[in-house]
């Protein structure tokens, strides 16, 4: 009897562990490993947190607002066609292009893109990027094109305030911020207003986003003006979209600096030997 008790004392722990292992193995076999998976999820949950309830609700609310915005924009487009006599047109399909070069000078704000006449690019086509308007095509070769950016001091774009429809034009200042001068002496404009191209623009189609108002000087002479922060990061953009566009027929064919002189006359990269 003493020998049996001694043996039990020495081997009880081993027997208990063995029994637990056998029971666990049988449980895994019967449940197909579900218990192990649930244990793994419980242990690793702090390292892989899922979306909270609040995040899921906010996401659903955001999706609802986006749908409402699409509907409101559709209604506004129909109203503009009635009020302004706009003709509903289909937006031409654009051509994607990579930015392959930038002008080395500080005065001429230009980029070179990897599409040319062989890809259907023509003079005065519109160039957009992430955030909105980037510029327009001012020179074309078979394999590349030159884009005059909105930030160039010679750039002029007809624009309006989206909220109040106050109109004017935007001119470049060699930076991410541009200046908008108004036609009215007392324009309805506020900091934070969205600025887009206007229907009076000569070289650009209307309703393309330009930027947001960040500063105002309505006492400026001879015309009030505001500072607009461009929504497209011109200094960082790597890919753009070229949209076919033909300037309005009732204006001079070109409204750009003389292409026969200055930096604009430099050959494109694809034209150099």
CATH, residue 236 = 2.40.10.340
Q: What is the pLDDT of residues 122-180, one digit of tens each?
A: 999 999 988 889 999 999 999 999 999 999 998 999 999 988 889 999 999 988 899 99
C-alpha distances in Å from residue 40, one per residue of 33, 45, 166: 11, 8, 61
Q: Does residue 102 sit in the same domain as residue 219? A: yes
Q: Does residue 31 sit in the same domain as residue 107? A: no
Q: Classify the phi-psi angles of 85: left when phi > 0, otherwise alpha if psi is within -120 to 50, otherwise beta.
A: left
Q: What is the pLDDT of residues 213-224, one digit of tens each?
A: 999 998 888 889
C-alpha distances in Å from residue 80, one per residue of 75, 164, 165, 207, 208: 9, 14, 12, 11, 15
Note whether residue 253 is domain-resident: no
Q: Does residue 240 sit in the same domain as residue 108? A: yes
Note whether residue 259 is domain-resident: no
Q: How many domains does the chain have?
A: 3
Note whether residue 228 is domain-resident: yes
Q: Does residue 38 sit in the same domain as residue 64? A: no
C-alpha distances in Å from residue 217, one per residue of 32, 94, 173, 221: 72, 37, 16, 9
Q: What residues make up the domain containing 60?
A: 51-83
Arithmetic mean of pLDDT over the chain = 75
Note whether residue 267 is domain-resident: no
Note whether residue 71 is domain-resident: yes
Note whether residue 147 is domain-resident: yes
Q: Is the pTM of this model over 0.75?
A: no
Q: Are 230 and 132 in contact (CB under 8 A)?
A: yes
* Residue 173 to residue 116: CA distance in whole angstroms: 28
């Amino acid at each position: 009897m003493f020998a049996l008790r001694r043996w039990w004392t020495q081997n009880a722990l081993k027997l208990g562990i063995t029994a637990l292992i056998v029971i666990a193995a049988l449980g895994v076999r019967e449940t197909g490993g579900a218990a192990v998976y649930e244990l793994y999820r419980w242990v690793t949950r702090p390292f892989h947190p899922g979306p909270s309830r609040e995040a899921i609700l906010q996401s659903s609310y955001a999706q609802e607002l986006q749908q409402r915005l699409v509907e409101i924009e559709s209604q506004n487009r129909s109203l503009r066609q009635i009020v302004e006599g706009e003709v509903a047109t289909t937006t031409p399909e654009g051509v994607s292009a990579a930015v392959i070069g930038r002008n080395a000078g500080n005065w001429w704000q230009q980029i070179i893109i990897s599409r040319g006449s062989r890809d259907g690019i023509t003079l005065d086509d519109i160039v957009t990027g992430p955030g909105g308007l980037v510029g327009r095509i001012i020179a074309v070769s078979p394999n590349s094109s030159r884009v005059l950016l909105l930030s160039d001091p010679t750039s002029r774009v007809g624009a309006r305030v989206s909220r109040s429809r106050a109109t004017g034009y935007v001119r470049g200042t060699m930076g991410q911020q541009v200046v908008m001068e108004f036609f009215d002496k007392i324009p309805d404009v506020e900091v934070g207003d969205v600025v887009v191209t206007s229907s009076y623009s000569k070289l650009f189609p209307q309703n393309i986003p330009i930027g947001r108002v960040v500063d105002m000087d309505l006492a400026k002479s001879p015309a009030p003006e505001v500072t607009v922060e461009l929504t497209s990061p011109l200094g960082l953009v790597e890919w753009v979209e070229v949209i076919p566009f033909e300037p309005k027929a009732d204006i001079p064919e070109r409204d750009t600096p003389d292409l026969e002189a200055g930096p604009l006359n430099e050959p494109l990269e694809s034209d150099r030997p």
